[in-house]
Amino acid sequence: MKQFDIAVLPGDGIGKEVVPAATRVLNAVADVHGGLKFKFTEFPWSCDYYVEHGKMMPDDGLNTLQNFEAIFLGAIGNPQLVADHVSLWGLLIKIRREFEQSINIRPAKYFKGLKSPLVNPNDFDLIVVRENSEGEYSESGGRIHKGEDQIAIQNAIFTRKGTERAMRYAFDLAKKRRGHVSSATKSNGIVHSMPFWDDVFNEIKQDYPDIQTASYHIDALAAFFVTRPQIFDVIVASNLFGDILTDIGGAIMGSIGIAPAANININGKYPSMFEPVHGSAPDIVGTGTANPIGQIWTAKMMLDHFGEYELGKKLLDVVEEVTNDGFKTPDIGGTSTTDEVADEICSRLKKTA
């Protein structure tokens, strides 16, 4: 019996609604498989925890999490109790940074039964590999002088290590997908870091002769996400470019409630973290209408991370089938509740056993 030890952090708001729904689905996946089990250990770290203890998690929280194989997170944030920058930096960002989760991946695909804002969504199925630790989002720089003499300098940091790490991750991922990697560059306008990015890309691709490649300037690439997303398989992008692209990716799918993400620790030293793209949605908390698909798709990414690709594929196929058959929460045009969607997924999964 294979067992995966998972730290579960439901967090705040609808995190506490969609996480139990998704762990129920994961247990159904384990039942279908037979030889596999999930051991969930739940931690109440959240804004409520902050109100009681004056911090988002205990001082030895990271030590505790370190021993798990993955972290399954809902959402963090309750601005009525704790300022967003305090809650986010006190937990989420801390985990991402300290656990060297240097790659962020976000898939986007045409989802059956979902209304994409694209007129002709075709059949796109892509994944963005975003460098998550450096690039344009750096603390290097500063501001000097006052008034009209003010100067702001913001340095983008591209290390050989960080760039190569993201690219190799993208190429390895493409091997398991359709064998194509697109690089997001802007070497026509950004004359130091982006030609460097291109050089590394051109060098790394020599190690992957079976993978096809393309390189696009980010502006054109962003437009192609809207006009012909079906041409993409894996896209590797810097921190800023990846951030922007993944929002477009979420948008063309049709709802933020279904978009998943994974923060990957690439050296295996620390656990990776799986979370939906959406936040704690205070406006719908308690109504039972939160869409659980983002959290469930994140669970699928966790299965992939564990090497359980077939199970992951089976899970996502069932989710799409359930959506296509009209079991949908209001954000995607249905009338089902969070639990009804999860229950339907569980019962269909069991039928595939």
Choice from 243, 304, 331, 340 touching Mg ion (CB under 5 A): 243
Alpha carbon 192 to its chain's center = 29
Question: Which of ligand NAI, Mg ion, none does 239 bind, CB closer than 5 to 8 A by kind?
Answer: none
Question: Which of ligand NAI, Mg ion, none does 331 bind, CB closer than 5 to 8 A by kind?
Answer: ligand NAI
Distances (CA, A) of 53 to 75, 76, 193, 310: 19, 16, 44, 42
Instruction: Kindly state the smallest distance separating residue 64's Cβ from ligand NAI, in Å.
Output: 19
Tell me the pairing of strands 125-131 and 234-237: parallel
Choice from 106, 109, 278, 314 touching ligand NAI (CB under 6 A): 278
- The yes or no reply on residue 257 touching ligand NAI (CB under 6 A) is yes
Binding window for ligand NAI (CB under 6 A); candidates: 139-147, 155-163, 164-172, 278-286: 278-286
Binding window for Mg ion (CB under 5 A); candidates: 120-128, 189-197, 241-249, 298-306: 241-249
Distances (CA, A) of 146 to 27, 93, 171, 213, 220: 59, 32, 47, 47, 37
Alpha carbon 174 to its chain's center = 17
Question: Which of Mg ion, ligand NAI, none does 243 bind, CB closer than 5 to 8 A by kind?
Answer: Mg ion
- The yes or no reply on residue 322 touching ligand NAI (CB under 6 A) is no
Binding window for ligand NAI (CB under 6 A); candidates: 50-58, 95-103, 142-150, 275-283: 275-283
Distance CA 194, CA 188 (A): 8
List binders of ligand NAI among 50-79 (CB under 6 A).
75-77, 79
**CB of 162 or CB of 279, closer to ligand NAI:** 279
HEC readout, 214-246: EEEEHHHHHHHHHHCHHHCCEEEECHHHHHHHH
Question: Which of ligand NAI, Mg ion, none does 282 bind, CB closer than 5 to 8 A by kind?
Answer: ligand NAI
Alpha carbon 245 to its chain's center = 13
Instruction: Kindly state the smallest distance separating residue 237's Cβ from Mg ion, in Å.
Output: 12
Binding window for Mg ion (CB under 5 A); candidates: 94-102, 240-248, 323-331, 343-351: 240-248
Closest CA to 71 of 107, 94, 41: 41
Binding window for Mg ion (CB under 5 A); candidates: 160-168, 232-240, 243-251, 334-342: 243-251
Q: Are 138 and 155 in contact (CB under 8 A)?
A: yes
Instruction: Kindly state the smallest distance separating residue 108's Cβ from Mg ion, in Å.
Output: 13
Instruction: Kindly state the smallest distance separating residue 215's Cβ from ligand NAI, in Å.
Output: 30
Q: State the DSSP H helix or E strand holding residue 62, giving kind and residue range, or none if neither.
A: helix 61-66
Distance CA 42, CA 234 (A): 33
**SS3 (DSSP) at 64:** helix
Distance CA 244, CA 222 (A): 8
Distance CA 243, CA 129 (A): 10
Binding window for Mg ion (CB under 5 A); candidates: 81-89, 188-196, 238-246, 334-342: 238-246
Taking CB positions, which residue lies at the least distance from Mg ion? 243
- The yes or no reply on residue 92 touching ligand NAI (CB under 6 A) is yes
Distance CA 46, CA 18 (A): 15
Site string for ligand NAI, 279-318 (x = CB under 6 A): xxxxxx-----xx--x------------------------
The token duo for 256 is 């933020």
Look at the alpha carbons of 278, 293, 299, 46 in this order and tell me if their dihedral is positive or negative: positive
List binders of ligand NAI among 125-164 (CB under 6 A).
none
The site for Mg ion (CB under 5 A) is made up of 243
The site for ligand NAI (CB under 6 A) is made up of 14, 18, 75-77, 79, 84, 88, 92, 256-257, 275, 278-284, 290-291, 294, 329, 331
